[in-house]
Structure 1
Amino acid sequence: MTANYRRSTEPLSPHLLLSMALGQSSAPDADGPIALLPWRVRRDGFGYSRLRRYPGQDRGPQDPPMDEATPRLTVADVMTRDVVSVSAATPVSEIAGALASKRISAVPVVSTDGALVGIVSESDLMRRTEIGTQRRPSWWRKVLADMEAEAADYIRTHGRKARHVMTPRVVTATEDMVLADIADLMEKQRLKRLPVLRGSHLVGIVSRSDLVRALARYRAPLFADPPTDGTMLRDLMDRVKALTPSHCLINISVHRGNADIAGVVDTATEREAILVAAENTPGIRSIQDRMILRCRSTS
């Protein structure tokens, strides 16, 4: 269920902000006087580092955060098992045809016993003499000639077999790796896909598109018993506490699945992150945004 939220234009008084910082009531009595707190108390209040706690809010080991209940997907859950592969002797023209017809961006190169020996990707076929995309010779390359580099470049642009154009050093994955590690590896190495090995043998391939398909299949878990307001409040406050050091200036209440979030944040991005955290809290149906940006001195 997607939560709806609206931004309130109701102003937050200094007394209300200080009360939230100190963990006092969310609003003063409408008919009572507003007492100004001593400066030392107000100063300590804005530096208060603990979240406001409610009766029964202490979390024990039997009450883990809801995110911990989310199953951790592994490579085996999302990888493509029917992999198009080639041998080291496969002609480059056939490899190009397979990439185009299968609409894939790379093919692993395997030996006769199924061991991975390399990979040929679209980038390996970009510089080819057949289509006139080989690197043009320049005067400085002639002056600083590296015969080995020149020979290797010639093989990659003119070679006719997979072994001539493949990348022999391949970053690989295993079936038991979690998707978080795969995403980190792809991002760090700037890769679009990873061959999956069992020992030295190829058993599949995992790509960015596999991660996107996993996201498309994701459905939020259904609860036999809807979370109580107290459970939702604890969950959301834990999320906010992990998000921002300004959590002590954030006051949250939940009533029948409707969250009211008020307080002071440093940036609009911080406010948006808190709203996203609320939207991802199971059970929250609507959100009232009463957060304001902290005023900064320009002097």
Structure 2
Amino acid sequence: MRHVTVKEVMTWPVISVGENTCFKDIAGILVTHAVSALPVLDDDGHVVGVVSEADLLRKEEFREEFLGERYQPQIPSGQEPGTGKARGMVARQLMSTPAVTVGKDVSVTSACRLMQSRGVKRLPVIDDHGRLAGIVSRCDLMKVFIRSDRDIEREIRENVLMESLWMDTSCVRVTVKDGLVTLSGRMILRSDAQIALWMTRQVNGVVDVVDELVWDRGNTPTGEAC
């Protein structure tokens, strides 16, 4: 069964900066292009980090006027106010590293899980050599849920019921409404029906599956008409 991959939904070309891009230039790019983070590349195009609005705003945390108002920023152990990212002037001093990246052939589902587990809103996409190939955001991953009902129904019929399942599915009916799939009809075994339901849930764009399947309890068909 085919899964949508990151390269099918990612954004390209990508706005990025080099390791020596200065603070003000980074801020200007973020504002001009209305993005909240940028991949940082070395001279060979490899992703070495990500610099975000949060990284730049660290500088504001340590300004004297805030300290004068008794604001107490969280300071990493062993550092004094004004150190670390707060004093960074170029991307390599400001960025978060190593970057959380994803391969372009990884499934959208895997990319979504990686985002959730690492608490990030976007992932730089890299090719087989570790070079920047694109970027994928939460919004990009949502594209799989705006597939047409007709396209989802076709994939379930062709890729799940006809190609992937080694069983008789000629009496199974598929209807899709707003991403909600209903499987109805008859199958030979209960286990066959469970497999069909599980595989349908794996199809990109499926919001949920309604089970209206019935089955014959024996290993042979009952001979009832579809």
Residues 134 and 157 of structure 1 are in contact (CA less than 8 Å); yes or no, is this contact kept in structure 2? no
Task: Give the Cα–Cα distance (whole angstroms) in 1 for the partners of residues 91 and 148 of structure 2.
Answer: 42
Task: Give the Cα–Cα distance (whole angstroms) in 2 for the partners of residues 185 and 235 of structure 1.
Answer: 38
Question: Secondary structure of 2:184's match?
Answer: helix
| Structure 2 equivalent of residue 203 of structure 1 | 133
| Structure 1 equivalent of residue 143 of structure 2 | 213
Stretches of structure 1 lacking an aligned partner (at least 5 in a row) = 1-67, 244-275, 282-299
The answer to whether the aligner puts 1:233 opposite 2:184 as a matched pair is: yes
Stretches of structure 2 lacking an aligned partner (at least 5 in a row) = 158-168, 174-182, 199-207, 213-226
Q: Percent identity?
A: 30
Mapping of residues 143-154 of structure 1, within 5 Å:
146-147=77-78, 149-150=79-80, 154=83
Mapping of residues 134-283 of structure 1, within 5 Å:
136=67, 146-147=77-78, 149-150=79-80, 154-198=83-127, 199-216=129-146, 218-221=147-150, 230-231=172-173, 232-234=183-185, 238=193, 277-278=209-210
Residues 124 and 134 of structure 2 are in contact (CA less than 8 Å); yes or no, is this contact kept in structure 1? yes
Question: Against the structure 1 CA distance between its residues 215 and 135, is the aligned structure 2 distance closer, same or farther, given a 3 Å change threshold?
Answer: farther
Residues 20 and 90 of structure 2 are in contact (CA less than 8 Å); yes or no, is this contact kept in structure 1? yes
Task: Give the Cα–Cα distance (whole angstroms) in 1 for the partners of residues 65 and 126 of structure 2.
Answer: 33
**1:124-161, Cα deviation, whole Å (9 max, x unpaired):** 122223994998498x99xx9954x337x613112221
Task: Give the Cα–Cα distance (whole angstroms) in 2 for the partners of residues 116 and 170 of structure 1.
Answer: 7
Corresponding residue pairs, total: 173
Amino acid at match of 1:77: E
Structure 1 length-normalised TM: 0.48
Amino acid at match of 1:277: V
Question: Against the structure 1 CA distance between its residues 145 and 86, is the aligned structure 2 distance closer, same or farther, given a 3 Å change threshold?
Answer: closer
| Structure 1 equivalent of residue 37 of structure 2 | 106
Please state how far the C-alpha of 1:234 moved relative to its aligned partner: 3.9
Residues 128 and 134 of structure 1 are in contact (CA less than 8 Å); yes or no, is this contact kept in structure 2? no
Task: Give the Cα–Cα distance (whole angstroms) in 1 for the partners of residues 124 and 76 of structure 2.
Answer: 36
**Structure number with higher relative contact order (C-alpha < 8 Å, ≥ 6 residues apart):** 1
Question: Secondary structure of 1:183's match?
Answer: helix
Structure 2 length-normalised TM: 0.62
